[in-house]
Amino acid sequence: KRQHEVIDVFSTVLLLFPEFNFDFKFVCRNSETLLHFLKGCLGTGILAMPKAFYHSGYLVGIIATVLIGGICTYCIHMLIRAEYELCKRRKVPSLTYHEVAEIAFLEGPPKVQKYSIYAKHAVNIFLLIYQLGICCVYVVFIGTNVKSVCDTYFPEMSVSIYMLMFLLPLILINWVRNLKRLAPFCTAANVITLIGYAIIFYYIIRNKPSFDNRSPTGQYDHFPLFFGTVLFSLEAIGVIMPLENEMKSPKNFARPFGVLNIGMGLVVSIYLIMGLLGYLSYGADVEPAITLNLPPDD
């Protein structure tokens, strides 16, 4: 009887405090979650950061990048806190994006409760558009870069062929729903990504970045281009709640020195350094993707 009482108490705690609810078999440690977070944030957008700094100027670019990163981090914290509160009210272990929106309306004033179903569908639609756009960008990016390498050694083929070649592997990877099992692949991907960034930094530094003829402020009508590029590069809202829900200790995600703050700090720093050094190195000649400035013969 006492054992059953302990189990009942433990179950109640898990319902009231969802951050302690986890599955021992498939949970992700903090380090694994951080790797997934970095992989979700570090993408093709970083290659456009030097061009973004060209539009904003190096001084405005530094300040605005930090500011946008801080706003993104704060908004994610608000989302996580809202999820915790709604989980406690509804006594459920976790919620998805559309469930958070729907329940938030249902828990709100009576006048807005009838709009809960519309909020649910709106969130799903925007997430679908967001993820579809990102997937399209990545498929085009992969196909274009693989083509540029293969054309040197093999007969030229259309970029569409290369995109189709990677379509099936990408679909199969997305069938793996458990992040714990993806951790080794994520680690390998992060290592390869960092090696690629290191190569780009090598060529940028070799070109001797300089403040000469570099503007601290850009044209005001070009700032939307900077803002859109940075926001696209930094924002990875689609991976936040899945990562947090599969952590061994979800409460560690949003702590002052938790996964979110450490991850966003690293991401903002890497993007800022890439944008600043890339712009200082190539100035007005910087291309939309910094890889296009690299010497093709090396």
Chain centroid offset of residue 13 CA = 32
**Interior angle at CA 76, CA 235 and CA 274, nearest 5:** 35
**Tokens 């859109």 sit on residue:** 228
| Token pair recorded at residue 168 | 């099936």
Say whether pLDDT at 43 is over 70.
yes
Q: Residue 3: inside a domain, yes or no?
A: no
User: In this predicted structure, what is the pLDDT of residue 1?
Assistant: 44
User: In this predicted structure, what is the pLDDT of residue 179?
Assistant: 67
Q: Which residue has the higher pLDDT, 181 or 20?
A: 181
- Residues 244 and 242: their CA atoms lie apart, in Å, by 6
Please give the residue range of the domain that contains residue 241: 23-293
| Token pair recorded at residue 118 | 């519309």
The total number of structural domains that make up the chain: 1
Q: Residue 269: inside a domain, yes or no?
A: yes
Q: Residue 272: inside a domain, yes or no?
A: yes
- Average pLDDT, rounded, for the chain: 82
Q: Residue 47: inside a domain, yes or no?
A: yes
**Tokens 């380090």 sit on residue:** 31
Residues 196-222, mean pLDDT to the nearest whole number: 88
User: In this predicted structure, what is the pLDDT of residue 103?
Assistant: 92
Q: Residue 4: inside a domain, yes or no?
A: no
Do 218 and 62 touch, CB atoms closer than 8 A? no
Residues 225-246, mean pLDDT to the nearest whole number: 81
Q: Residue 145: inside a domain, yes or no?
A: yes
* CA distance to 78, 173, 214, 244, 276, per residue, from 59 (Å): 29, 41, 10, 35, 9
Say which DSSP state 28 is in: B
Q: Residue 115: inside a domain, yes or no?
A: yes
Q: Residue 2: inside a domain, yes or no?
A: no
Say whether pLDDT at 54 is over 50.
yes
User: In this predicted structure, what is the pLDDT of residue 23?
Assistant: 44
